[in-house]
Structure 1
Amino acid sequence: MEIEEVMAPVVDDMETTIRRFAGRIELWEKFLLKFKDDLTYTELQTAYELSDGPAMERAAHTMKGIAANLGLQRLSDASADMVRSVRENRPDLFEKNMEAVRREYQAVLDAIRKFAD
């Protein structure tokens, strides 16, 4: 199965994403495979569980950037919402935003695992 086919459910703009990697699908694939081992989500989850606002902001901001660079816009957007809720001191939105990040992150991992396995 081709990586574009597997990642299509979580990548909204495949063409732009591939261009970001100079048209080199194999380079994008390399970074996607590394993404599943990245600890940023774990850091965000831990910060959320500890109600550590600064750590949540850092981890969510990092996740936002990583996801955007990989073409995972929905995960990037969910992470941006988490950053915004921390910066605006809106703990009433943390649970909702964390759930959105969790859902999008899991969808990305599921897609990557389909390709990697």
Structure 2
Amino acid sequence: MGNAPLFEKMLCKFLTDQSFAEARKSFESCEWQSFMRNVHTLKGLSGNLSINVIYHTASQIVSLLRADDLTDQSFAEARKSFESCEWQSFMRNVHTLKGLSGNLSINVIYHTASQIVSLLRADDLEGAKALFPSLEEEYGAVSKAIGLAAEADQR
């Protein structure tokens, strides 16, 4: 970094910042919005200082918190568009689910969603319809596992 005084000032801010303490307190009291806000701040501070270990971990936490709501919403929308035969909407929602599951390394959902999107792009509606029950089953199993892990963490 070419500006040593600025770096020193930012480093002092990082060392005195309360984001980590506040994030821990929010986590322990299950205040998820506050937790996300504090981890996001920690992500920004560590990224500005190139403290990559903290930055990458904070980034993963923020992504997981954001994806949790989005994944449930995307799957619900995919199911709704599947049931109402709105195939463009179905493809868009499955594509979103594919991206979120890829970001979270949930490979079983990612690969099935990828296959469905490819089939829809190739106008193979029957193939896509045939795979959707597998996607639904995989999504249910992953959601259940995440729920069990969250319950265990709260004990």
TM norm structure 2: 0.54
Corresponding position: 1:104 with 2:138:
yes
Question: Is 1:27 paired with 2:61?
Answer: yes
Matched residue, 1:64:
98
1:1-117 aligned at under 5 Å gives the runs 22-23=56-57, 27=61, 30-31=64-65, 34-35=68-69, 38-117=72-151
Rounded to whole Å, the distance in 1 between the matches of 2:125 and 2:147 is 33
- Per-residue CA deviations over 1:66-106 (Å, capped at 9, x if unaligned) read 00001101101111111111111112113321012101101
State the TM-score, normalized to the length of structure 1: 0.70
* Structure 1 residues 29 and 69: CA distance shift in structure 2, 3 A: closer
CA-CA distance at 1:33 after TM superposition: 7.8
Bigger Rg, which one:
2
Aligned residue pairs total 98
Give, in angstroms, the shift of residue 24 of structure 1. Answer: 5.3
Q: Which moved more, 1:21-30 or 1:43-52?
A: 21-30
Q: Distance in 2 between matches of 1:43 and 1:82?
A: 15
Q: Secondary structure at the match of 2:91?
A: helix
Cα RMSD between the aligned structures?
Answer: 2.7
More helix by share: 2
**Which secondary structure does the structure 1 equivalent of 2:110 belong to?**
helix
Cα distance in 1 between the residues matched to 2:70 and 2:143: 6
Q: Quick one: distance in 2 between partners of 1:43 and 1:60?
A: 9
Distance in 1 between residues matched to 2:107 and 2:58, nearest whole Å = 19
> After TM superposition, where is structure 1 displaced by more than 6 Å over at least 4 residues in a row?
none
Q: 1:64·1:79 contact (CA, 8 Å) conserved in 2?
A: yes
Give unpaired runs (5+ residues) of structure 1.
1-18
Q: Distance in 1 between matches of 2:64 and 2:140?
A: 19
Structure 2 unpaired stretches of 5+: 1-52
